[in-house]
Structure 1
Amino acid sequence: MKELKSMTEFQQAVEDNGSVFMFSAGWCPDCVVIEPHLPDLEKSFPQFTFYKVNRDHFIDLCQELNIFGIPSFLVYKDGVEVQRFVSKDRKTKEEIEAFLKEATEK
């Protein structure tokens, strides 16, 4: 998983054929719970490039995209958001897998 460092990187990644953005923060306990599952998810969905977005470093982007709970996930294809899993609730590996499976069909 690549960690975004700038808005330019975000804008370039959005234009890819399939990008998954995980919005999180180091202080977020629900984000820490899901972290160990991310390598498996990346292997299971090789059609996507996965990016980590630190909410604290990209607060303006989070506000613009209505990301008010973390961890949250957005999927973009060719510059268009095709799927979102945004809430303040803890997410399970199974829920994220289902979300990503649905996103592959779009």
Structure 2
Amino acid sequence: MLIPTTYEELAKPLEKGKTMLFFTADWCGDCVFIKPDIPEIEASFPEYTFVQVDRDVFIDICQKWGILGIPSFVAIEDGKELGRFVSKNRKTKEEIMTFISEL
């Protein structure tokens, strides 16, 4: 999983190929809950580059993309949004895998 710290690092994987943005924050209990499952989810979908987006580092990106609740997931292909799994509710590994499978 890529963990960008600059806007350039965040933008690069969005330009080409399939990217799964994982919006998160260290203080988010629901994010901490799902993080141990992320490596398995990532391994199940090797066609995606997973990118962890820290909500506190990229708050303006979250606002621009309408990310109101975390953790949230946004799928991008060649710079275009394919779909999103965004809600204020805790997400399970099964829900995330279903979301990605149905894209």
TM range (shorter): over 0.9
- Find the counterpart in structure 2 of residue 31 from structure 1: 31
- Find the counterpart in structure 2 of residue 22 from structure 1: 22
Q: Which runs of 5+ in 1 are unaligned?
A: none
Q: Mean alpha-carbon deviation: is it higher for 28-37 or for 8-17?
A: 8-17
- Find the counterpart in structure 2 of residue 51 from structure 1: 51
Q: Mean alpha-carbon deviation: is it higher for 10-19 or for 32-41?
A: 10-19
* CA deviation after TM superposition for structure 1 residue 16, in Å: 2.3
CA deviation digits over 1:31-55, x for unaligned, max 9? 0010010110111000001010000
Q: Which runs of 5+ in 2 are unaligned?
A: none
AA of the residue aligned to 2:75: V
Tell me the TM-score normalised to structure 1 length.
0.94
Percent of residue pairs bearing the same amino acid type: 49
Aligned length: 103
Runs of 4+ in 1 over 6 A off after TM superposition: none
CA deviation digits over 1:19-77, x for unaligned, max 9? 00100000000000100101101110000010100000000000000001000000100
RMSD, matched Cα: 0.7
